[in-house]
Amino acid sequence: MQAKKNGTFDYKPYNLFDDTTAYYDIVMAIDVFEHVENYLEFLRNLREKGKYKLFHIPLDMAALYVVRVWPILESREQVGHIHYFSKDTALATLRDTGYEIIDYFYTPTLDLMSLKSVKSHLLRLLRKIGFKINKELTVRILGGYSLMVLTK
Name the pTM for this structure: 0.85
Given a contact cutoff of 8 angstroms between Cβ atoms, the answer to whether 71 and 65 are in contact is yes
| Measured distance between the N- and C-terminal CA atoms of the chain, rounded to whole angstroms | 31
Fold of the 23-151 domain:
Rossmann fold (3.40.50)
d(CA 106, CA 148): 6
The 3-state DSSP class for residue 2 equals: coil
Residue pLDDT, tens place only, 9-19: 667 777 889 98
Give kind and range of the element (H or E) at residue 115: none
Query: Which pLDDT band, with edges at 50, 70 and 90, does 113 fall under?
Result: low
Query: Which pLDDT band, with edges at 50, 70 and 90, does 109 fall under?
Result: confident
Where are the domains positioned within the chain?
Answer: 23-151
- Counting every residue, how long is the chain? 152
CA-CA distances (angstroms) from residue 55 to 10, 48, 59, 88, 105? Answer: 23, 15, 12, 14, 11
Residue pLDDT, tens place only, 69-78: 888 888 889 8
Q: What is the pLDDT of residue 75?
A: 85
